């Protein structure tokens, strides 16, 4: 019995490490491919083209992995519509939260005179390019890689969903671990020379939102709603800044 317990723990740790390696490798592959091109003619200021290519490669690798794993292990990664009522309730709630958050954030920044000006012109190409990336690529790429792939594989490794009760919410271990891996992806690092850098605000938001996206995924049984939530949050957050700047 003790050996079986140790083997289970080892198996779970190995699953987490493999996920971490794959996610970091997918991101690195995206950077590698994105660096092969120049974007001066379509994105002079480097706002949206490079990151779009990066996320497309990341998304393709995640989908390939999911197709293979689904076939081998017979796992369902929930790409259908699932429970529409639960899913759209999460989408609606998040939309209200991000609108309030963006309003308060920019109001405080305005009152404190702490508005950071962009280092690029506020023209149609730059604004549409960045908002287009946030709307069409940020959600699908990151949610499929960091939510669907991670949560389903972790749940399979654990064999049963275990939940930590916070109020009426049941937050599963696989959701917390997936959100932690998602948060780690927002840490910039290099080996030579060794360096680590991150925004604490972004890390906290990544963890909190990652758990919320995971709850929506597991409750609705569909990755569609976390994708919508992720995209809406990013579009509102970026769009609110442009609206704020337009009134200065």
pLDDT tens per residue, range 12-51: 899 999 999 999 999 999 999 999 999 999 999 999 999 9
Q: CA-to-CA distance for 155 and 163, rounded, in angstroms?
A: 11
Is pLDDT above 60 for 3? no
Q: Model confidence at 10, in pLDDT bands (50, 70, 90)?
A: confident
> Backbone dihedral region of 162: left (phi > 0), alpha (psi from -120 to 50 degrees) or beta?
beta
Average pLDDT score over residue span 126-141: 97
CA 97 to each of CA 80, 84, 93, 105, 115: distance values in angstroms, whole numbers, following the listed order? 26, 20, 6, 12, 22
The domain tally of the chain equals 1
Is pLDDT above 90 for 6? no
What average pLDDT is seen over the chain?
A: 92
Alpha helices in 81-199 (DSSP H): 84-112, 124-133, 139-143, 149-158, 173-184
The parent domain of residue 186 ranges over: 2-246
Measure the N-to-C terminal CA separation of the chain; round to a whole number of Å: 67
Alpha helices in the chain (DSSP H): 2-34, 49-73, 84-112, 124-133, 139-143, 149-158, 173-184, 200-220, 224-246
Q: CA-to-CA distance for 154 and 160, rounded, in angstroms?
A: 9
pLDDT tens per residue, range 184-196: 999 887 666 766 7
Lowest mean pLDDT, pick from 8-22, 48-62, 76-90, 141-155? 8-22
Closest listed residue to residue 69, CA positions, set 144, 136, 137, 1: 144
CA 166 to each of CA 29, 169, 185: distance values in angstroms, whole numbers, following the listed order? 37, 5, 25
Is pLDDT above 60 for 97? yes
Residues 6 or more apart whose CB falls under 8 angstroms from that of 151 comprise 172, 174, 175, 178, 214, 217, 218
pLDDT of residue 162: 72
């Amino acid at each position: 019995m003790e050996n079986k317990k140790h083997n289970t723990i080892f198996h779970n740790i190995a699953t987490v490490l493999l996920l971490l390696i794959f996610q970091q490798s997918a991101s690195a592959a995206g950077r590698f491919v994105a660096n092969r091109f120049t974007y001066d003619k379509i994105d002079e200021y480097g706002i949206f083209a490079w990151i779009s290519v990066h996320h497309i490669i990341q998304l393709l690798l995640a989908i390939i992995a999911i197709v293979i794993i689904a076939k081998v292990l017979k796992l369902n990664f929930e790409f259908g519509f699932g429970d529409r009522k639960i899913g759209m309730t999460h989408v609606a709630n998040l939309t209200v939260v991000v609108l309030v958050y963006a309003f308060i954030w920019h109001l405080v920044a305005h009152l404190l005179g702490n508005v950071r000006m962009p280092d690029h012109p506020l023209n149609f190409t730059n604004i549409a390019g960045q908002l287009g990336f946030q709307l069409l690529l940020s959600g699908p790429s990151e949610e499929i890689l960091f939510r669907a792939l991670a949560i389903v594989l972790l749940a399979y490794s654990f064999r049963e969903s275990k939940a930590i009760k916070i109020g009426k919410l049941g937050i599963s271990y696989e959701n917390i671990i997936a959100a932690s891996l998602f948060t780690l992806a927002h840490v910039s690092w290099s080996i030579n020379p060794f360096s680590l850098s991150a925004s604490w605000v972004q890390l906290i938001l990544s963890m909190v939102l990652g758990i919320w996206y995971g709850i929506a995924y597991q409750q609705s049984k569909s990755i569609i709603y976390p994708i919508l939530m992720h995209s809406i949050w990013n579009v509102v957050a970026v769009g609110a800044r442009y609206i704020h700047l337009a009134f200065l």
